[in-house]
Amino acid sequence: MSDEYFMKMALKLATRGRSWASPNPMVGALVVKKGKVIGRGWHRCCGESHAEVNAIADATQSVKDSTLYVTLEPCCHHGKTPPCTDLIIASKIPAMNIIDLSITIIVDTIDRIKTVCPYICD
């Protein structure tokens, strides 16, 4: 399976947040390990856990040494929920594929994650 295949799956998951995630964007995330999806998540509702957090929580095995596919860059600020970057770093996920890069926060996010996640494909 390819990066494109997994990203398309993440995009499909994102649509599950339609009508509920607003005013936040619809976001989907997958955790993939050795070519197999081990966790799925999407931003279900404004004020609740983000897609990345839900995908990591859904994982059927350790996410260490896996790849995270996410349709929007992980947040690195405190809002209604803690920063997703903190959980990603703590989970020791070494690779991430991101589809949409928002210049306003991507520099902080990427700088923070690159310390432990050297393989970020945007």
Separation of alpha carbons 28 and 69, rounded Å: 8
In the residue annotation, 52 being an active-site residue is answered as yes
From residue 16, alpha-carbon distances to 9, 101, 106 in Å are: 12, 21, 24
Separation of alpha carbons 34 and 6, rounded Å: 12
Of 4, 48, 52, 73, the catalytic one is 52
Which amino acids are annotated catalytic? 52
